[in-house]
Amino acid sequence: MMRVTQRFSRVDRDKTAANAERILIQYPNRKVMAMSRENTLASPAMDGMPRSPSVENHADDKIINYIENDDKQFCDRCEKIINTLLPQTAVNDKWPIILKMRYVALKPLTDDVIMERVGYQSSQYYEAVKDALCAFAEWWPNYPGSLVVSKF
């Protein structure tokens, strides 16, 4: 059954939700990478070899910082949207909870477990997931491209 507001909506909910899910599926792996990279990457040092006094390689430092910060910034952005922005603006207060349990946990829960915890039936749960993903997509930065897909 289609909602009245969906018929006149300019947003393609299915494609928008799929785009948001494509982003959130990356979260657990990128979180692990961000946590494992803390102070582990460095330029190689040739110990025992004759050399002049060490000089910092600023190009290597910039590359290392970019790699380390990219995953961390991605995770921080996802967490900020789910933990701060969605609870303040979501129509349904269970949307952030669903996204946390389904995507942001390092070991995401199954849909059946989440349905039981939030007290939803199957169809109600999957509609809430789609709505939550669309709300997430609206908060995601538009660079390099928006997650929100227009019907027109």
Q: Is residue 124 part of a domain?
A: yes
Q: 3-state DSSP call for residue 11?
A: strand
Q: Tell me how far apart the alpha carbons of residues 147 and 13 are, in angstroms, rounded to a whole number.
A: 11
Q: Is residue 149 part of a domain?
A: no
Q: Is residue 50 part of a domain?
A: no
Q: Is residue 74 part of a domain?
A: yes
In single-letter form, the type of residue at position 132 comes to: A
Model confidence pLDDT, tens digit, residues 83-115: 999 999 888 999 999 999 999 988 889 999 999
Q: Tell me how far apart the alpha carbons of residues 102 and 67 are, in angstroms, rounded to a whole number.
A: 26
Confidence class for position 43, pLDDT limits 50, 70, 90:
low
Q: Which two tokens stand for residue 104?
A: 């942001």
Q: Is residue 125 part of a domain?
A: yes
Q: Which residue has the tokens 């199954």?
A: 110
Q: Is residue 21 part of a domain?
A: yes
Burial code (b: 16+ CB inside 10 Å, e: under 16) for 53-92 equals: eeeeeeeeeeebeeebeebbebbeebeebbeeebeeebee
Q: Is residue 88 part of a domain?
A: yes
Q: Which range is least confidently modeled, 7-11, 12-16, 50-54, 92-96? A: 50-54
Q: Which range marks the domain in which residue 132 is found?
A: 12-40+60-139
Model confidence pLDDT, tens digit, residues 44-88: 666 666 666 666 777 777 776 666 678 889 999 999 999 999 999
The answer to pTM > 0.75 is yes
